[in-house]
């Protein structure tokens, strides 16, 4: 039982995990104090397959931050008006103002993954997105928005287990969606779409960071470490900000070729 728990908490005991999480959350409070004083605008994007752990990671990041300067954005289905508008328009109103951190639980990258796989957009619409999103993000960065993009990567077996657990848990019924039901059927299609997204939208000024997320708690700790390391702030705990490179990696095509990203 003890071995199982150690694995469950990322090779740590429950107490060790909670102690490290608390220390990282204290650093996040320091970071927030700094970006408020410095009028910074921070946008953190989370993508990944269904049940990859986006909700849990975002919850641990925001748990002790000021709700006034921290917003989580998780948009639902686009309305008829949204579909008749410029694709990025519905996202623009949710971008961070000065002194804010916005965390997007899925984002405009729906058009690179869910929408083409599920037939919710045309090939022409997807291609237009792929060509324009680098320009859109460059404009955001030039205007002072710090854009940080994470993709939480899990194996097919892990996704199947998590979706099954979700269906059994009465407290997680709100997470179940029709798309969940066909996620595994479209595994290969999502893999192809994800790889194209990485290759066409990861750049030096706006790279993707790939998170090995089969172990939820290890992924959470290392995403927070990595996020803290992206921005300098006073009195930073430099040792605790160092993420494990085998857990969080800047995207490189070699990650696909070597099989380090789930196929």
Kindly report the length of the chain.
263
Residue 112 lies in a domain: yes
Give the domain extent around 250. 2-257
What is the DSSP annotation of 112-137? GTHHHHHTSS-HHHHHHHHHHHHHHH
| Model pLDDT, residue 236 | 92
Could you tell me how far CA 56 lies from the centroid of its own chain?
A: 10
Residue 129 lies in a domain: yes
262 in any annotated domain: no
**pLDDT of 7:** 52
Distance in angstroms (rounded) separating the CA atoms of residues 100 and 43:
8
Which three-class secondary structure string do you get for 11-35?
A: CCCHHHHHHHHHHHHHHHHHHHHHH
Digit-coded pLDDT (tens) for 215-241: 999 999 999 999 999 999 999 988 888
248: its two tokens = 């969080």
Distance of alpha carbon 183 from alpha carbon 58, whole angstroms: 22
100-105/70-73 β-pairing: parallel
For residue 1, the model assigns a pLDDT of: 37
Overall number of domains in the chain:
1
**pLDDT value at residue 54:** 98
The CATH number of the domain holding residue 38 is 3.40.50.300
CA 73, CA 174: separation in Å to the nearest integer?
Answer: 17
Task: Give me the pLDDT at residue 3, please.
Answer: 44
The answer to whether 214 touches 155, Cβ cutoff 8 Å, is yes
Give the β-pairing of 208-212 and 248-250.
Answer: antiparallel
Task: Determine whether 233 is exposed, middle or buried from the number of CB atoms within 10 Å of its CB (0-12, 13-18, 19+).
Answer: middle
Residue 54 lies in a domain: yes
* Position 226 in a domain: yes
Q: What pLDDT was estimated at residue 10?
A: 58
Report the number of secondary-structure helices (H) and strands (E) in the chain. Answer: 12, 6
pLDDT of residue 22: 97
For the sheet with 208-212, list strands across it: 70-73, 100-105, 41-48, 145-153, 208-212, 248-250
Distance from C-alpha of 194 to C-alpha of 241, rounded to nearest angstrom: 28
Can you read off the two tokens belonging to residue 128?
């237009």
Q: Is 181 among the domain residues?
A: yes
- The confidence score (pLDDT) of residue 240 equals 86
- Domain membership of residue 263 (yes or no) is no
pTM of the predicted protein model: 0.94
Whole-number Å distance between alpha carbons of 35 and 29? 10
Tens-digit pLDDT profile for the chain (263 aa)? 334 455 555 567 999 999 999 999 999 999 999 999 999 999 999 999 999 999 999 999 999 999 999 999 999 999 999 999 999 999 999 999 999 999 999 999 999 999 999 999 999 999 999 999 999 999 999 999 999 999 999 999 999 999 999 989 998 888 888 887 789 999 999 999 999 999 999 999 999 999 999 999 999 999 999 999 999 999 998 888 888 889 999 999 999 999 999 87
């Amino acid at each position: 039982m003890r071995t199982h728990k150690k694995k469950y908490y990322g090779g740590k005991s429950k107490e060790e995990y909670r102690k490290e999480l608390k220390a990282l959350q204290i650093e996040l409070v320091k970071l927030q104090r700094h970006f408020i004083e410095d009028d910074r605008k921070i946008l953190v994007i989370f993508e990944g397959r269904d049940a990859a752990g986006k909700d849990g990671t975002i919850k641990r990041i925001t748990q002790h931050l000021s709700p006034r300067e921290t917003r989580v954005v998780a948009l639902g289905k686009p309305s008829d008006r949204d579909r008749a508008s410029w694709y990025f328009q519905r996202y623009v109103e949710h971008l961070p103002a000065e002194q804010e951190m916005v965390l997007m639980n899925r984002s405009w990258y729906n058009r690179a993954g869910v929408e083409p796989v599920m037939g919710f957009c045309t090939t022409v619409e997807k291609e237009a997105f792929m060509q324009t999103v680098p320009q859109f993000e460059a404009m955001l960065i030039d205007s002072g928005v710090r854009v940080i993009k994470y993709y939480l990567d899990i194996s097919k077996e892990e996704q199947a287990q998590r979706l099954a657990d979700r269906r059994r848990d009465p407290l997680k019924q709100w997470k179940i969606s029709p798309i969940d039901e066909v996620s595994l059927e479209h595994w290969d299609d999502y893999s192809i779409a994800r790889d194209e997204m990485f290759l066409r939208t990861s750049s030096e000024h706006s790279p993707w960071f790939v998170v090995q997320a089969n172990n939820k708690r290890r992924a959470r700790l290392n995403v927070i470490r990595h996020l803290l390391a992206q921005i300098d702030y006073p009195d930073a705990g430099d040792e605790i900000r160092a993420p494990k490179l085998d857990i969080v990696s800047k995207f490189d095509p070699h990650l696909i070729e070597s099989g380090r990203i789930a196929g």
